[in-house]
Every structure is written in structure tokens, then in C-alpha cells.
Amino acid sequence: MELQSREVNGVNGAHRVLSRIRPETRTGYILLCTLLWSTIAFLLVHRFVLSTVVVEGESMTPTLKPGDCRLVNCWLPLFRGYHRGDIVVIRDREKAELMVKRVVGLPSDCVQVSGGQVYINGRPLPEAYLPSSTFTSPRKWGNHTYAIARDCYFVLGDNRSASEDSRSYGAVHHADLLGLISP
């Protein structure tokens, strides 16, 4: 019973404060508080739940084209992680920019590119999202097998000939993956 009376007094206390303010000022005060809380809620949702990204460059064609605007789900990976085939947004710390790539190698996988084909743990990676004529070159690490660290991912652009990706800069640390994109 005592708890209920405190709650009522708390509500009445706020009402008493607002009732002392002149009506024209009260409306402005309520509007200002609403605007402030709405802005805070928007910023929290934009940073931690949903964001947007505009695709720049040709590295993800034909799946994503330059100028495409996509929603980035920052929340879902916290519950399900990242899977092979996911399209992700990556923070490039050196260039201070965002990149969009596809996850092909998961933590602890072994990746090899040989004869234009990507192999994961010795098996060819089925890539139905790519045109059948796609040729994947191994770039700087040749036909060697690349072992992915426990907290890293191997990412490639869908347009393999025009993509700077894990073949150039290595696996991407989990902390640099910002979220998922739906194609």
C-alpha cells in the first residue's frame, strides 16, 4: 500500500511542478522534452539497431550496384552471429570508411583460392549468387591456404575482379563488422 502511495505522489509531484508553469510555457516545455527524448531514441536506434549505407564502387555488382541505399541491421548479428553468404558492412580503420562485402570464411576455417574457385576447408564453395563466369584470383597470397583466426571473417566482393577484400588485406576482425545487409 505504501508503494502505491509513493507512485501516486511521484506522478502528482510532477503534475504539481508542471501546474506551476504558465500554460504557454508548459506547452513549450512538453514539446522540448518530447523532441529531446525522440532525438535520443532515434540516435540509439540508428546506432545500435538499424542504420543505412550507400553502396560505393563496383565491388558488389551484380548483387548491389553503386548508389544503392540499404538498411544495415546492427542488432541481428548479436543474436545469430554472421553466416557464410551474409552481406556485411565493414569499418576500414585505416581509410576511415565503410565497405560492403560478403562473408565467405568463418572463424577457424581454412580458405584457399585455386583455379578460379574458392575452397573452404578443402571443399569448393558453392556461390549461387555469382554469375557462372566468375573467376576468383588468389591475389597476393597465391594458392596457399589461409587459416582464419578465431575472431575473424574472410570477406570477398561479388565482383571479384574489381574488389579489394580479404585477398588483399586479410581476414576482418569481428569488431569491425558493423551489421548485416539484405540484398
Residues with pLDDT less than 70, the chain: 1-24, 45-49, 183
Host domain of residue 35 = 2-48
Per-residue model confidence (pLDDT) at position 89 = 95
Specify whether 55 is located in the same domain as 113. Answer: yes
Decide if 159 contacts 61 (C-beta within 8 A): yes
Q: Name the catalytic one among 38, 59, 140, 163.
A: 59
| DSSP 8-state class, residue 130 | S
Largest CA distance in the chain: 79
Question: Do 68 and 112 sit in the same domain of this protein?
Answer: yes
Are 13 and 75 within one domain? no
* CATH number for 91: 2.10.109.10
Let me know whether 43 and 99 are in one domain: no
- Clarify whether residues 78 and 167 are in a common domain: yes
Question: Is 95 tagged catalytic?
Answer: no
Q: Does residue 44 sit in the same domain as residue 55?
A: no
Note if 101 is an active site residue. Answer: yes
Tally of domains within the chain: 2
Provide the pLDDT for residue 29. Answer: 78
Q: Do residues 72 and 99 both lie within one domain?
A: yes
Task: Please check whether residues 115 and 58 belong to one and the same domain.
Answer: yes
Give yes or no: residues 79 and 8 share one domain. Answer: no
Give residues with Cβ within 8 angstroms of 71, minimum separation 6: 50, 51, 52, 181, 182
Instruction: Convert 139-178 into a string of H (helix), E (strand) and C (coil).
Output: HHHCCCCEECCCCEEEEECCCHHHCCCHHHHCCEEHHHEE
Read off the pLDDT of residues 106-156 as tens digits, 9 standing for 90 and up.
999 999 999 899 999 999 999 999 998 888 988 777 778 999 999 999 999
The answer to whether 105 and 154 are in contact (CB under 8 A) is yes
Whether residue 118 is found in the same domain as residue 69: yes
Tell me the whole-structure pTM to 2 decimals. 0.75
Say yes or no: 79 and 144 in one domain: yes
- pLDDT reported for residue 61: 93
Residues 121, 140 within the same domain: yes
| Catalytic, out of 5, 19, 38, 101 | 101
Domain-ending residue, one of 48, 65, 82:
48
